[in-house]
Amino acid sequence: MLNVRVGTYGTVMPIAVSVDVLTVDELGPAVSAHFGSQRLFTSGPPPDSSGAYVWSSDPAVLYIGSAASLARRLGDYRKWIAGYDPESDWEVSVVHMLKVHQADVQWVTTSSHDQAKELERRLIEWHRACVGIAPLVVGWEAKADSPREAAERWARKLWLEKHGRSGTLL
């Protein structure tokens, strides 16, 4: 169930939305094309090496990310998820979605963090090419001074100009 604002200044109302998403196995052709040979996603204790990871639930892909150290990044996620209580701390976040959907993680190692980031982008675009949208959970690239944050500021400024408003969006 999603809450959707109807019209520019409409009311918020719950609606059911159905979307297609890939499974982890359906990411396989993109992983194989990236490496030039078949590579499989792995689970278990993550290594202290770079790689791309996929959080999924029954077996739908929810989130795709990359890390310089899979052990450190996935360890952080596991701590955040374990300490998060959606009943009292609800917010729109990666951690919220991974917790409420009881997501599991798998990864594939890469030779460098740059290659991991490239594979992450390719997997997201493969997902978009196959089903028309990126995975449902939006990642951390909205950090300060990122290209995504700059694009968000630009869109916000344009929206405010178009609607003759100042301040922040609701």
- Supply the DSSP string of 64-130, one letter for each residue: EEEES-HHHHHHHHHHHHHH--HHHH--SSHHHHHHHTT-EEEEEE-SSHHHHHHHHHHHHHHHHHH
Q: How many CA atoms lie within 13 A of 20 on its CB side?
A: 8
SS3 content of the chain, % helix, strand, coil (to 5): 40, 20, 40
The pLDDT assigned to 19 comes to 83
The DSSP call for residue 137 is S
Q: What is the mean pLDDT of each run of 10 residues along the chain (170 residues)?
A: 49 71 93 93 96 93 95 94 79 78 95 94 89 77 61 68 58
Residue 109 and residue 70 in contact, taking contact as beta carbons nearer than 8 Å: yes
The pLDDT assigned to 40 comes to 92
The pLDDT assigned to 10 comes to 53
pTM, entire model: 0.74
The pLDDT assigned to 168 comes to 46
